[in-house]
Structure 1
Amino acid sequence: MIIEFCAINKPEDWMEMVAEQFGTSVTDNGFTIPPSVGSGFFKQYYPLPWLTLTYISFMAYEPMTMVRRSVENSKWIPVMFYINEHKHEQIIGTSTKTVGVDTLDGIFMPSSNIPTEWTFAPKRQYENITLTFNKDWIEQMDTAHETYIGRLLLSDKSFYLFETITPAMQQVLDGIKAIAKSNAPFSPLHLHGKAIELLTIFLEKLEKRSEVKSLSNLNLNDVEAVFRVRRRILQSLNNVPSIPELAREAAMSSSKLQKCFKQVIGKAIAEYALSEKMEWAKRLLSTRLYSVSEVGYKIGYANLSHFTEAFRKYHRIKPKQYLDSL
Structure 2
Amino acid sequence: MIDIIFHDKTGVTPYNPGQTGGFENAAGSGEIHYYRLFDGVGIMLLRLEMETYTEIRTQIGMIEINFCINGRFETSFSMRDSVLLKPGDMAVSCYDGRHGTRSESRFPLGCYEGLCLEVDPAAAQNWLEKNAPGFSVDFAVLKQNLLGNRWFMFGTAGPRCEHVFRELYENAPYMDLRFLRLKVVELLMLLSRIPQEEGTDLYCSTEQTELAHHLRDHLLTNREGYVSLAQLAEEHGISVSHLQKMFKQVYGVPVYHYIKEYRLEQAAVELVRSAKPITQIAQNAGYDNASKFSEAFRKRYGTTPSQYRTHANGLAKRSREIRME
TM-score by length of 2: 0.46
TM-score by length of 1: 0.45
